Structure 1
Amino acid sequence: MTTSNYIPKDPVVIECNIEKAVDVLSGKWAFLVLRELFCGTKRFGELQRCIPAVSPRALTSTLRHLEENGILERHVYATVPATVEYKLTPKGEDLHQTLHAMKLWAAKWT
């Protein structure tokens, strides 16, 4: 067997931090939700008004994904109907500089 045809039985999995970050921030709406939450705590309806193209289902899915990954926290108030607010965690706030750098890159190159 030549080395050019050799395929290991168990390929080595190399962890990539960029891949992890992309997975956390994946989805069409995550960046827009983060943009809004960088300005402060928002309720679901406020987020919907700020991002009019997002459907309620897609917004809910995005918020759940970001919450599961520790980027934002959800606080439910015992009112009728229930009031739900979303705010960034320190982990989410830490993304601000990175996303700002991406914004500057896009302005320069796209």
Structure 2
Amino acid sequence: EVQLALAAQKLLAERKIGVRVVSMPSTNVFDRQDIDYKQSVLPQGIPRVAVEMGSTDGWWKYGCAAVVGIDTYGESAPAPVLFKHFGFTAENVADTVHAALLKA
């Protein structure tokens, strides 16, 4: 997901929209950190969009405006087809971030 987020960040930069990408490989470790650290990584008042090639459930607790993820099952196809089907494209992630920023 990090590479996808970085590709979306590049597309947004081309639109003159600055965003930062935060990689959170372990939510358990992040959750155990002190509040100052957590707020330095996820500052208040900034829209958040998570990208998770799995269930979106665990990301909403971080105040996400949107989560690009998978909340269904049973699809079968080659990976590139599934990525597009589920919105795991740089364009979709960039559009999702842009929409979240417009709502903020």
More strand by share: 1
Which structure has more relative contact order (CA 8 Å, sep 6+)? It is: 2
Highest Rg: 1 or 2?
A: 1
Category of TM-score, reference length = shorter chain: under 0.3
Normalized against structure 1, the TM-score is what? 0.25
Normalized against structure 2, the TM-score is what? 0.26
